[in-house]
C-alpha cells in the first residue's frame, strides 16, 4: 500500500505533518470528551430507570430529578421524541460537553478538510476550546463523583442499588 498526496496539490512535507499533528491533537481531545459523554448518557438512562422504580418515594424521585437535571445541563443531552432528530436542536450551554464536542467536530473538519497547514483561526479555535474542555471535564468529574455519591447514599438509605456512570455490560464484565 502506498499513500501519496493528491498530485493536484503542491504542499511541502512539513505542511502535511503539521496538518496531521493538529488533527491528532483534536482527536485526543475528542477521545477524552467521548468518555465523559458516554458516562453522561449511561447515567441519564440509569436515572430514568431508577426514577420509574422509585415512583412511590416522592423525596427520592425529587433527588433523582435534581441530579438528572445536573447531568443533562453538564452534558447537553437533549431528550427528543425521535433521538435521531436531537442533533438538530442547539446546545443549551456553551459549557456543556455537547457544545464542546460540536466545537471539536468543526475543528476536525477545518484540519482534515484543508489542503494547507492549520490556519491561525483553527489554531485559535483549538486554543479557546481546550480550557473550556478542561473546565467541563473537571465539572463533570465533580458531578459523577461527589454529587453522585450523595445520590447513591440516598438510594442506599431507601433500599435501592447505587447507580454508576459505567455501561451495564461493563459493570457485569468487571464482576467476572
State residue 108's pLDDT score.
92
State residue 173's pLDDT score.
54
Residues 65-119: tens digit of each pLDDT: 999 999 999 999 887 777 677 666 777 788 899 999 999 999 999 888 778 889 9
Question: Would you place residue 170 in the very low, low, confident or very high pLDDT band (cuts 50, 70, 90)?
Answer: low
Rounded distance between C-alpha atoms, residue 75 and residue 71, angstroms: 6
Residue by residue, DSSP assigns 125-173 as HHHHHHHHHHHHHHHHHHIIIIIHHHHHHHHHHTTPPP--SS-HHHHHH
pLDDT at residue 175 is higher than 80:
no
Range 19-38 average pLDDT = 95
Amino acid at each position: 500500500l502506498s499513500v501519496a498526496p493528491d498530485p493536484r496539490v503542491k504542499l511541502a512535507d512539513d505542511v502535511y505533518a503539521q496538518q496531521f499533528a493538529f488533527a491528532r491533537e483534536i482527536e485526543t481531545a475528542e477521545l477524552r470528551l467521548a468518555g465523559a459523554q458516554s458516562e453522561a448518557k449511561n447515567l441519564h438512562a440509569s436515572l430514568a430507570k431508577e426514577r420509574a422504580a422509585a415512583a412511590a418515594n416522592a423525596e427520592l424521585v425529587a433527588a433523582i430529578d435534581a441530579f438528572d437535571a445536573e447531568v443533562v445541563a453538564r452534558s447537553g443531552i437533549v431528550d427528543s421524541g425521535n433521538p435521531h432528530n436531537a442533533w438538530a436542536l442547539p446546545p443549551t450551554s456553551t459549557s456543556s460537553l455537547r457544545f464542546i464536542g460540536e466545537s471539536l467536530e468543526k475543528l476536525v473538519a477545518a484540519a482534515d478538510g484543508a489542503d494547507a497547514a492549520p490556519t491561525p483561526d483553527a489554531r485559535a479555535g483549538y486554543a479557546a476550546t481546550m480550557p473550556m474542555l478542561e473546565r467541563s471535564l473537571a465539572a463533570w468529574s465533580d458531578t459523577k463523583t461527589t454529587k453522585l455519591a450523595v445520590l447513591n447514599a440516598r438510594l442506599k438509605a431507601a433500599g435501592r442499588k447505587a447507580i454508576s456512570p459505567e455501561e451495564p455490560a461493563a459493570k457485569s464484565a468487571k464482576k467476572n
